[in-house]
Structure 1
């Protein structure tokens, strides 16, 4: 049982993203090279030619300009062959005009799915759950989200979370509940009496001494 759990263990927030080399719909890729200098959203879907997955992949494809504008690359995965992937890409393009231009990993041997804990035996041992990993330009896992096979992801939440992480990195702040770009952010609580007094004299909007917000 311990070995099985280890095999399906997912990378945790703060871990270095496991590296791998795979065949994809854009050619053979080494993940660490693809990740270098940019954010990557690595996401899995259960299978090609399935209804929920088609809506999700189409959603990612339609947002390509948003992700490009925020230095973020996409990479999909399912436990299907490269031929199934290409046929699916072609079918969706023919029917909707939407082209999946980002790489989709052909993970027929389940190597990457196991490496990232995308296979969860209680749900399925042969289909990846709907996992989302956000990996920063230094290769560190910063965000992990899982959905079951029968529930599609929320694209707005994925975009919001990416912007929150990038804003937090840039300004060294935190985000409150339901934060959206343009809204006030949270400043870290003081850790000394001196910084507490400085805060009391600042122009920060203070709910209490430990909870202060500002616009950026």
Structure 2
């Protein structure tokens, strides 16, 4: 369980929340944002990236917000929305995004929630129970169109998020969802994919005997690579055409 326990609020009623885990429904909420009140469930049918920032006007958070804004057009084209969150009040956040615009010309096209009472931060486990940090950690939740959490990324306040890694994770999830294939270590779109392990003896034998016709390269009986658009892959990964996008 996630507990709201701190020496600073020891006399306050303790709130408990279900742990945020991959596969569960993302807790719904209505919250004030830079685009008015928003409800998470109104985003059903879209992929959602819910991401927290420790504070407005934070140096690292500013780089994250700008990077997200620059990536927003290509995300939006693929039915992916972004929701930001900080624990500052709405006026501070509005002043922050206006300052970004005045200095860079970059508008922030997605809402940023003002979680001043920490309700969402605690609900989503963005504040550690031992209060190692006095602010929210950098947490990102990838939520699918049905409202389920598909990935959770948590970073310390000193480490900015990597947009390319976030997009890579999204690509990986979509590859699995659309093609029932897995992605190996250090995978990037266009690289070979991993076929799920065989679940029966017959499948194992069939894979070994028909790997070439299946378009598999199998260095081990339990590890086979393939490409999305390949009917035959007879050479190891890295020696074939990698210019294949997963989308």
What interval of TM-score do these two structures reach, taking the shorter chain for normalisation? over 0.9
What is aligned with 1:13? 22
Query: Is the 8 Å Cα contact of residues 8 and 119 (structure 1) preserved in structure 2?
Result: no
TM-score (norm 2): 0.82
> Displacement, 1:124?
2.4
Please give the alpha-carbon distance, in whole angstroms, between the structure 2 residues aligned to 1:183 and 1:71: 23
Offset of residue 79 of structure 1: 0.2
Coordinate RMSD, CA, aligned = 1.7
Query: Whose RCO is larger (CA < 8 A, sep 6+)?
Result: 1
Is residue 150 from structure 1 mapped to residue 161 from structure 2 by the alignment? no
In 1, Cα distance between the equivalents of 2:39 and 2:192?
A: 39
1:129 aligns with 2:141: no
How far residue 151 of structure 1 moved from its aligned partner, in angstroms, is: 1.2
Equivalences, count: 214
* 52-61 or 146-155, which deviates more: 146-155
Structure 1 residue 102 and structure 2 residue 110: aligned? yes
Contact 2:51 2:141 in 1 (8 A): yes
**Any idea what SS the aligned residue of 1:202 has?**
helix
Instruction: Name the larger-Rg structure.
Output: 2
**Contact 1:89–1:99 under 8 Å retained in 2:** yes
**Aligned-residue offset at 1:84:** 1.0
The offset of 1:69, in angstroms, is: 2.6
Unpaired segments of 5 or more residues in structure 1?
none
Of 96, 110, 118, 1:88 maps to 96
Q: Which residue of 2 aligns with 1:27?
A: 36
Q: Distance in 2 between matches of 1:14 and 1:105?
A: 24
2:60 is equivalent to residue 52 of structure 1: yes
Among 130, 140, 146, the alignment partner of 2:148 is 140
Distance 2:68 2:199 in 1: 41
**Structure 2: gaps (5+ residues):** 6-14, 229-247
1:210 aligns with 2:222: yes
4+ residue runs over 4 A deviation: none
